[in-house]
Chain A
Amino acid sequence: MTRRFTPLWLLLPAAAVLVPLFVYPIWQLGLISALDLRQAQVSGGQPTRYVGFANYVALFGDEQFWSVLGATVVFAAACVLATLAVGAGLAVLLTKVGRLPRLLLSLAAMAAWAVPAISGSTVWMFLFDTNLGLVNQVLRLGAYNWTYDRMTAFALVGAVVVWHSFPFVMVTLYAGIEAIPGSVLEAAAIDGAGAWRAFWQIMVPILRPLLAIVVIQSIIWDFKVFTQIYVMTAGGGIAGQNLTLNVWAYQQAFAAGEYGLGSAIGMVMMVILLVVTLLYLRTLRRSGDPL
């Protein structure tokens, strides 16, 4: 009997940290999302009312919500795929090249990783500036505005997101690949597997637990992307065409003073991320590999 409860009280120290840090803010967020909390209520001018699901009803009835949600999902998915492709590709490359190129590549990646999102976005914005940017000058594009078209703007921001997040994928997978016993890869090579086949049929299965972490992290990061969009498209692009859920939640809560509605958007995001993560973990379990 005592044995059964041992794991629970062993979790206590972790819970002591996690509950105040995570559960309490989420509880607050949920609570605010059920209140009519606007600037007037925050300033104390009007009484705060409990409105149940009214904020959610307003949200789901708003056309803009669905279009922003759609944009967010597509944008996040594209960023995750691109980050994984770039990260995994470079990780494999790292194992193949000599010491000096490896050092240089690692340094470059680390630098990109170390740059704070806000400075990185600002630098990229300078490079792609309509009138004075280096890119337009080098490519002789004249006054081409990279953020005018919705797709180009998303592609540019996506490139910055990938640039910021591929080093994590690269380093993690590189460590994983290095840990694969040389004999396994050698055996595959002797059996006639090329680099492509060795990657998909040897490395990927062995790296599955690592990949799980990398994928989930990337989904969470890219779904929540804020800084790059906010900085590079000046808060959501021309007429709000580049809004993602997180930026939109911020605009609703802090620019418009609709704290209740902003919190409701935050809750929706959290639920979506929880569901995605759980589904992903379940598929991994189903396929039989322990994590």
Chain B
Amino acid sequence: MKLLVPLVTAGLLLGACAPSTSVPADTPSGGGDRTGTLKVWLFDEPNRAPKEKVVQEAIAEFTAKNAGVTVDVQYIPVETRGARFKGAFNDPASAPDVVEYGNTDLAEYAAAGGLADLGPAVTAWPEGKDLGADAKASATYQNTLLGVPWYVGVRALYYRTDVFTELGLAAPTSQADVAAAGKAIHARKPDLVGVAAGGKYTFAALPYVWDAGGDIPQINSAPSRAGLTAYTSLIGPEICPAPQCADLTGGKTVELFAAGKAGMAILGNFNRGAVDAGPVKGKYAVVPLPGGKPGSIAPAFAGGNNLGIMKNSKRPALGADFLTLLASAEYQGKMFDAMGNLPTLTPALEQAAAKDPFLKPFTDTIKSGTRFVPLNPGWGKIDAQGVLPTMIQKVVTGKSTVDQATDEAAKQIDAALKQ
């Protein structure tokens, strides 16, 4: 899940803006050797053991079916993945066959021409039809499917049940409810912020923009401005005072809510562990982040990781077999049990949600439609330059109006996306 946060410097240095002239591979992921060693790169995790166990199971099943095949899995550190992938693109001999990668890195890798077209393999895969349209779109670059979403993470609205009961508030079902509840909480309990809305928390602000009908490439359009106005109105003396909230990042928002200093916060399903580690354990509930229209759900950002095949792979068909095994509903379910990662295949997701009612607001959010950052190598630059946080901060500190700040951001976004 670390992948959802901005690119690390290593990634930036080595490949944020690869040539847009090189076209993704058109070699289908078919053919090649059916024996030998299949090299797989998966991301290392802070608690890797359960993930490794599931992967080992998959390998045992795979090698039993495919005689003469061994699978060599390497767990690569997330922080230096940029350098590793760049190296793999440049040196086919040392490149892996199957890789796990962050979905926000897709455009960058695709522009570098490093990933193979998975379209035919996924069409031939019986479970491929269970892949949601949003999930597929987040792995598609210039009409080519370059990955199979392996798991996703989405954000929803966490709120303090004890505080809501005490103040006689109901769970919010519209943006106006969120703001009103936030005001009530901060007024009655001044040591709590109403909603922990961060000036640097891009993925909390974007649902407001998307819900209003705006998007990142049109950030200075009227709908985008309306969405931004709604979000930034949360950061002010009545709900989340600017001195406290203007420089709040996503990570700090988690801390604030977990420490019991916020009435509500927009957090991901993957933040549950961190929240439960704090004093608010057992004192909160989650609902989908409401949209502007009462009862609607604001589109969430769908972060997550994909599985892909390297364009240089000598065993693309064998790799696709292993990939589809790992991405199957069975193993997605096992990965959910082991790591809590939300499955991308609809049946696996429904099963997981049935097992754990905590997930319902998140699966509801996914079902109502998710959105994604621009699939463009320029996104890395927009992210690294902090264009969107700067825009939000200028508004909440009163340095610029929404119109000025969005015009300025639009200029930088245009420049980055066109580069």
Residues of A bordering B, CB below 8 Å: 38-40, 42-46, 130-131, 143-145, 147-149, 234-235, 238-241, 251, 254-257
Min C-beta distance of A89 to chain B, whole Å: 34
The one of B17, B22, B199 that contacts A38, using a Cβ cutoff of 8 Å: B17
Cα(A235)–Cα(B200), bound, Å: 12
| A45 & B246 in contact (Cβ 8 Å cutoff) | no
In the complex the two chains form, what is the Cα distance from A39 to B82 in whole Å? 13
Question: Which residues of B388-419 are within 8 A (CB) of A?
Answer: 390, 393-394, 397, 399, 419
Do A239 and B393 contact each other (CB < 8 Å), given the known contacts A143-B243, A254-B9? yes
* A44, B393: Cβ atoms closer than 8 Å: no
Which B residue's beta carbon lies closest to that of A43? Answer: B18
Of A42, A130, A238, the most chain B CB neighbours within 10 A belong to: A238
CB-based contact B243/A148 at 8 Å: yes
Chain A residues near B399 (CB, 8 Å)? 239, 241
Minimum CB–CB distance from A246 to chain B (whole Å) comes to 16
Main secondary structure of the interface of A (DSSP, over half): loop
- Closest B residue by C-beta to A142: B191
Neighbouring A residues of B394 by C-beta, 8 Å:
239
Q: In the complex, are the beta carbons of B397 and A238 less than 8 A apart?
A: yes
- B47 CB within 8 Å of chain A: no
**B17 A40 Cβ-Cβ under 8 A:** yes
A257 contacts B247, CB within 8 Å?
Answer: no
Minimum CB–CB distance from A232 to chain B (whole Å) comes to 11
Q: Cβ of B77: which chain A residues have Cβ within 8 Å of it?
A: none
State the CA gap A273–B81 with chains docked (Å): 38
A257 touches B18 (CB 8 A): no
The 5 A-B residue pairs with the shortest CB-CB distance in the complex, in nearest-first order: A45-B19, A39-B17, A239-B393, A145-B243, A148-B243
Residues of chain B lying within 8 A (CB to CB) of residue A130: 243-244
Q: Which residues of B have CB within 8 Å of A131? A: 244, 256, 259, 261
The distance from the CB of A289 to the nearest CB of chain B, in whole angstroms, is: 47
Q: Which residues of B contact A45 (CB under 8 A)?
A: 17-22, 111
B385 within 8 A of A: yes
Q: Which of B239-281 contact A (CB under 8 A)?
A: 241-244, 246-247, 256, 259, 261
A-B pairs with beta carbons under 8 Å apart, 20 shown:
A38-B17, A39-B12, A39-B17, A40-B20, A43-B86, A44-B19, A45-B19, A46-B21, A131-B259, A145-B246, A145-B247, A148-B246, A234-B247, A235-B386, A238-B397, A239-B399, A251-B385, A255-B384, A255-B385, A257-B16
B133 interface residue (CB < 8 Å to A): no
B172 at the interface (CB under 8 A from A): no
Residues of B contacting A147 in the complex (Cβ-Cβ under 8 angstroms)? 247
Contact in complex: A238, B247 (CB < 8 Å): yes
Report how many residues on chain B are interfacial, defined by Cβ distance under 8 Å.
36
In whole angstroms, what is the CA distance A148 to B243 when docked? 5
Interface centre among A42, A44, A257 (most CB of B within 10 A): A257
* B31 CB, min distance to chain A CBs, angstroms: 28
A257 pairs with B17, CB closer than 8 A: yes
Residues of chain B within 8 A of A239, CB atoms compared: 390, 393-394, 397, 399
B155 at interface, CB cutoff 8 A = no
- Chain A residues, Cβ within 8 Å of B14: 43
**Are B12 and A238 in contact, with the CB atoms below 8 A?**
no
Interface: B112 (CB within 8 A): yes
Whether A40 and B419, one on each chain, are in contact in the complex, defined by CB atoms closer than 8 angstroms, is yes
**Contact B19–A255 (Cβ < 8 Å):** no
Q: In the assembled complex, which residues on chain A have CB atoms less than 8 Å from the CB atom of B67?
A: none
Q: Is the CB of B244 within 8 A of A145?
A: yes
Chain B residue at minimum C-beta to C-beta distance from A252: B385
A144–B15 Cα distance when bound, in Å, is 40
Give A255's nearest chain B residue, CB to CB: B384
B13 within 8 A of A: yes
Contact of B247 among A39, A43, A148, A255 (CB under 8 A): A148
The distance in angstroms between the C-alpha atoms of A45 and B17, with both chains bound, is: 8
Write the chain A residue with the least CB distance to B247: A238
Q: Choose among A40, A234, A254 the residue that contacts B18 (Cβ–Cβ < 8 A).
A: A40
Selected contact of A256 from candidates B241, B384, B390, CB within 8 Å: B384
Q: How far is the CA of A239 from the CA of B21 in the complex (A)?
A: 34
- How far is B284's CA from A161's CA once the two chains are assembled, in angstroms? 43
Residues of A near B21 (CB, < 8 A) are: 45-46
Q: Per a CB cutoff under 8 Å, which of B17, B200, B259 touches A43?
A: B17
- Other than the known A39-B12, A43-B19, A45-B18, what 8 A-B pairs have Cβ atoms closer than 8 Å? A38-B17, A39-B17, A43-B15, A45-B19, A145-B247, A234-B247, A238-B246, A239-B393
**CA A42 to CA B397, docked complex, whole Å:** 37
B381 within 8 A of A: yes
B155 CB to closest chain A CB (Å) equals 22
Q: Is the CB of A144 within 8 A of B16?
A: no
- Closest residue to B255 on the A side, CB-wise? A131
Within 8 A of A (CB), among B199-220: 199-200
Among B16, B112, B261, B399, max chain A CB count under 10 A is at B16
Interface centre among A251, A254, A255 (most CB of B within 10 A): A255
**Whose C-beta in chain A lies nearest to the C-beta of B389?**
A239
Contact with A along B81-119 (1 / 0, CB 8 A): 000001000000000000000000000000110000000
Which residues, 23 to 48 on B, are CB-close (under 8 Å) to A? none
Asked if residues A40 and B19 are in contact (CB atoms below 8 Å), the reply is yes
Q: How far is the CA of A147 from the CA of B243 in the complex (A)?
A: 8
Q: Min CB distance, A139 to chain B, in Å? A: 15
- Which A residues touch B112, using CB under 8 A? 43
Bound CA span A39–B390, Å:
22
Interface centre among A44, A147, A239, A255 (most CB of B within 10 A): A239
A256–B243 touching, CB < 8 Å:
no
Most buried by A among B111, B261, B419: B419
Distance of A42 Cα from B82 Cα, bound (Å): 14
Residues of B within 8 A of A255 (CB): 12, 384-386
A145 and B241 alpha carbons, distance in the complex (Å): 10
Q: Which residue of B has the minimal Cβ distance to A251?
A: B385
Residues of B within 8 A of A235 (CB): 386
Nearest-neighbour CB distance to chain A for B271, whole angstroms, equals 18
* Closest chain B CB from A48 CB (angstroms): 13
